[in-house]
Amino acid sequence: MSKTLKLKNRFKTKRVYEPASEEDSFRVFVERLWPRGISKEKAKIDLWLKDIAPSTELRKWFNHDPAKWNEFKKRYHDEIGSKKDLVEVILEKLSKGTVTLLYASREERYNAATALLDYLKGKK
């Protein structure tokens, strides 16, 4: 198995409200706003990268509408392109083990963490 493929398999996404587990390894919260009803202690977040989250305008426009998913990902990936330093932080953590991207949305498929994961997989 190639090193690139091994790295890709070490990314995970998970809802921040789900209990932390050892398999999560390094937990990165990738939302701009803190999730309601959960303490920082219970969330067990290792790093909060709010600046890698979609812009407020993009997040509000998307509103987790599956019909807008492909356009949201395109616009979000464009935004991430100007945040190379934050991408490098995540990739550096990945070189040391599994990185779990945490999101707050109830939507498991159409969320910023999933779109960010697609972007990151293209980088490694």
Give tens-digit pLDDT for 63-94: 999 999 999 999 999 999 999 999 999 999 98
- Return mean pLDDT, the chain: 90
Q: What is the DSSP letter of 83?
A: -
Percent of the chain whose pLDDT exceeds 90: 81
Residues with Cβ within 8 Å of 95's Cβ and at least 6 positions away in sequence, in order, are 7
DSSP state of 54: P
- Alpha helices per DSSP H over the chain: 3-8, 40-43, 56-62, 69-80, 84-94, 112-123
Whether 2 shows a pLDDT value over 50: the answer reads no
**What is the reported pLDDT for 9?**
59
Residues 111 and 105 sit within 8 Å (Cβ to Cβ): yes
Question: What average pLDDT does range 99-115 have in this prediction?
Answer: 94
* Sequence ranges of the domains in the chain: 3-123
Predicted confidence at residue 124, as pLDDT, reads: 53
Write down the pLDDT at residue 95.
86
Rounded to whole angstroms, the Cα distance separating 54 from 92 reads 21
Amino acid identity for residue 12 in this structure? K
Residue 102: in which H helix or E strand, if any?
strand 99-103
